Amino acid sequence: MAYRRGRYYYRSRRVGGRVVTEYLGAGEGAERSAAMEARKREERALGAQLRELSAAVLRAHGYPHCH
């Protein structure tokens, strides 16, 4: 997840069970990186919602839930 601290952008991610914060910088390049991170996060959330919806539709039509 990219976030802004004043004029500077950072990204947090997990590495080996620990959270590591990376400095992305300031300016246009960092803003683009932060925007790409936000878009990826939105796409993951949308994908999860679509999977839940499709599973609900299948269950409503009598299909068993498979893992």
**In sequence order, what are the beta bridge partners of 59?**
none
- Beta-carbon neighbour count of residue 8 at 10 Å? 13
Mean of the pLDDT values across residues 19-23? 91
In whole angstroms, what is the distance from residue 29 CA to residue 47 CA?
Answer: 27
Domain presence at residue 67: no
Whether the model pTM is above 0.95: no
Average pLDDT of the chain to the nearest whole number: 87
Domain presence at residue 56: yes
Give per-residue burial for 14-39: e unless 16+ CB within 10 Å, then b: eeeeeeeeeebeeeeebbebbeebee
Number of domains in the chain: 1
Domain presence at residue 15: yes
Q: Can you give the residue range of the structural domain that contains 31?
A: 2-60
Domain presence at residue 65: no
User: In the predicted model, is pLDDT for residue 29 greater than 90?
Assistant: no
Residue 42 amino acid letter: E
